[in-house]
């Protein structure tokens, strides 16, 4: 089905992509990554909070009921915008957020924030996220990254303590190896894993396989960024045949690849969000999937 043929107002439902369990919560298998909402811009190219709010509302209006956030996205603005746009929240909306990076500004030459998995930092950030999101309980609280300077069991233990106190409903992990995942699972129930994964980047295949064995949701971040990978040219070819944007092919493949896959493509644009979501109705034929599987194996 071509992009032009799709109704941009079509609402995502359980039948379009199926659902996944996050503990006792059920979400549709195509979510929204909110990292970039604080950079939404108006037609003149200026940062526009009203546009960010309109984008968040569009996400929910079209039937997405899982949103992925983090305390560091927009230095807190991401969580604040979600609350401003959506509170009081729809009953079925699940918001996940994260902690585990230092909440400092990037300095010149820094490519990423340093990790901070100290239990006292995690506890402090949980309270801040609860306040920003206007929640009493965080639906899904994710360990953003292991801190090489803090034993991982101490960081995970802090999340488990928050869960026992009733401030966190479910726990997820991110940027983990299979060994780190198993360590986390020995301390608490883990309902989801968020690692980088797409057709061209499959370093986390073993983690995905563990999620399939244990019925944990797998949230691939950067799901459509294929530049400079062997998959890029083939995805463009198949997209042209469907008359669809390339990101729809990448997302359709992820949905077909594993039943525990929960892609969370992000954007700061309502137009791009609509294009991403319409991947729910794009069906790849078996020959296309086989070709994509073959090139994915090279990733």
Q: Which residues are catalytic?
A: 73
Q: What length does the chain have? A: 299
Reference 187, options 159, 211, 226; nearest CA is: 159
- What's the token pair of residue 135? 């929640």
Reference 178, options 167, 186, 170; nearest CA is: 186
The owner of tokens 């009953």 is 91
Q: How far is CA 10 from the centre of its chain?
A: 21
- What's the token pair of residue 56? 């968040």
Query: By CB neighbour count within 10 A (0-12 exposed, 13-18 middle, 19+ buried), where does 289 fall?
Result: middle
Instruction: Check residue 73 and report its DSSP letter.
Output: G
Neighbours of 182 (CB within 10 A): 13
Give the DSSP per-residue string, 183-213. Answer: HHHHHS-EEEEEEE-BTTB-TTHHHHHHHHH
> Measured on CA atoms in the order 201, 203, 206, 211, is the torsion positive or negative?
negative
Alpha carbon distances (Å) from 238 to 198, 200, 255, 258: 16, 15, 16, 20
């Amino acid at each position: 089905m071509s992009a032009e043929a799709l109704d941009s107002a079509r609402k995502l439902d359980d039948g379009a992509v199926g659902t996944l369990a996050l503990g006792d919560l059920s979400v549709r298998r195509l979510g929204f990554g909110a990292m970039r909402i604080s950079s939404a811009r108006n037609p003149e190219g200026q940062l526009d909070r009203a546009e960010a709010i309109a984008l968040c509302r569009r996400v929910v209006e079209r039937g997405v009921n899982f949103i992925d956030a983090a305390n560091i996205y927009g230095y807190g603005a991401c969580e604040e915008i979600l609350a401003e746009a959506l509170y009081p929240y729809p009953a079925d909306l699940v918001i996940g957020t994260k902690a585990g990076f230092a909440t400092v500004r990037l300095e010149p030459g820094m490519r990423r924030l340093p990790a901070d998995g100290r239990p006292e930092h995690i506890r402090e950030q949980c309270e801040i996220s609860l306040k920003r999101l206007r929640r009493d309980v965080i639906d899904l609280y994710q360990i953003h990254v292991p801190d090489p300077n803090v034993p991982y069991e101490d960081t995970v233990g802090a999340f488990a303590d928050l869960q026992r106190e009733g401030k966190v409903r479910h726990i997820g992990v991110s940027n983990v190896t299979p060994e780190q995942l198993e360590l986390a699972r020995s301390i608490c129930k883990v309902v989801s894993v968020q690692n980088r994964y797409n057709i061209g980047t499959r370093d986390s295949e073993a983690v995905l396989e563990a999620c399939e064995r244990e019925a944990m949701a797998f949230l691939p971040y950067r799901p459509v960024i294929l530049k400079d990978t062997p998959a890029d040219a083939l995805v463009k070819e198949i997209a042209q045949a469907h008359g669809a944007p390339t990101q729809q092919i990448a997302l359709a493949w992820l949905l077909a690849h594993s039943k525990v896959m929960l892609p969370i493509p992000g954007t700061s644009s309502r137009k791009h969000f609509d294009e991403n979501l319409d991947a729910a109705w794009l069906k790849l034929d078996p020959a296309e999937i086989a070709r994509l599987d073959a090139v994915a194996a090279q990733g």
